[in-house]
Amino acid sequence: MLKLLHSALKVARYELQDSVRSRRFAVVLCLYLIGAMLACNGMISMLHHFEQHIARSVGLSASAAPGDVLRALWDSESFRDTIAKMTRNKEAFEEIKQLPLIAIFFGWLAFTFTPVFVILTSPSRIAEELATGSARFALVRTSRAAWCLGKFFGQCLEVAIALLLSAIGTWVVARFRVPHMTSAITMAPMIILGWKVWLCSIGFVGMSLGLSQLTRSPNLAIVFAFLTWSAMKIISMAAWFTDEEGLTRIWHVLDLMTPMGHIADLWRSQITFVLPAVCYVVALGLSYLAVGYAFFARKNV
């Protein structure tokens, strides 16, 4: 077991090195980073515009910086009740509300788009090596299990880099646009949320690499991953719009079998919600990987 893990770590190190060097990663990372920064900037502009409109409507002087009016709105009981009804969980909303707006925005952005980033970069990693035959050089030197596990670790680290960079990018944009933003107070929850998003992305990395083991075509692997992610989204929406009663309970059960079904708990700050959710998403990632491996272990390379 130790030998397997030792080999997997060597594969992971090289996987990260090779993956980061690939053109696909560079392009997707740039898009992700630019997208995060532009979205943050857009959100702040929209917010400011919205605040000025409100201020004009109620005959107040327009706020100098974005966030002033919204903070007041955020603190109003009636507004909180409305949002809590929308989120269907007042307790969860009260916890999330404690976070700075920029951190909430970053969390939403990362939870929404990190799976897309994973789907665009990870599914090709094994399929591509099987297609070119380069997997053979490694597979005569290490076991298939260690190789797949190493690829998985490497891809998880790659996502961590992307998340870290996008967090920094978002924070820098916010720092310039919102002058009164308290840097440390905003940065800490962003780091915690980034960490949670990363844990959640493990589920998607497992899914992507599980699918990557099924085919020799990198493009087909990406298509498989995209379709699976879409199916997960549909399940998640079906679970959101249905009650946990009768036959519709099936959507909630299926939702728990996807990483998306645990995102709500990952938003929480209480460990009793976060820890089971983390265990679930990590277990799901490893399970998806294992399902792909069950096929790959018997496959001709």
Partner 1 sequence: MSDSALTFDNVVKKFGGRTALDEFNLEVPKGVVFGLVGSNGAGKTTSMAVATSLLRANSGSVNVLGLGQYDPLLHSGRVSLMPQDSNFPRYARVRDLLMYYATLQGQSAKHAQDNIAQVIDLVHLSDRVDSQIRTLSHGMRRRVVIAQAFLGNPELVLLDEPMSGLDPKEVMNIRRLLHKRQEGQTIVVSSHNLFELERVCTHVAFIEDGKLVKQDTMSTITGQHHVLNYLIEAGANASLPGLRELMPDTSFTIPGDGSVLTCSYAEAGHTTAEVNSIVLNHLLGRGVRILEVRRGAELETAYMQQT
Q: What is the binding site for partner 1 (CB under 8 A)?
A: 3-4, 7, 10-11, 14, 17-18, 21-23, 129, 132-134, 136-143, 146, 298, 300-301
Q: Least CB distance from residue 214 to partner 1, whole Å?
A: 17
Name the residue with tokens 């297609």. Answer: 131
Paired tokens of 132: 């070119």
Smaller CB distance to partner 1: residue 157 or 191? Answer: 157
Q: How far is the CB of 17 from partner 1 (least distance, A)?
A: 7
Measured from the CB of residue 252, what is the shortest distance to partner 1 in angstroms?
41
Q: Of 98 and 134, which CB lies nearer to partner 1 in the complex structure?
A: 134
Q: How far is the CB of 297 from partner 1 (least distance, A)?
A: 9
- Nearer to partner 1 (CB atom), residue 84 or residue 301: 301
* CB 18, min distance to partner 1, A: 6
Of residues 123 and 285, the one with the C-beta less far from partner 1: 123
The amino acid that residue 262 corresponds to is H
Structure tokens at 81: 């009740």
> Which residue, 231 or 297, is less far from partner 1 as judged by CB?
297
Nearer Cβ to partner 1, position 212 or 258?
212
Q: Please name which of 154, 150, 123 lies closest in space to residue 223, comparing C-alpha atoms.
A: 123
CB of 133 vs partner 1, minimal distance in Å: 3
Report residue 89 as tokens: 């969980």
CA distances (Å), origin 256, targets 78, 86, 208: 32, 21, 18
The DSSP 8-state label assigned to residue 29 in this structure reads H
Do 225 and 123 contact (CB within 8 A), yes or no?
A: yes
Between 58 and 140, whose beta carbon lies closer to partner 1?
140
Name 268's Cβ contacts closer than 8 Å, sequence gap at least 6: 92, 95, 96, 274
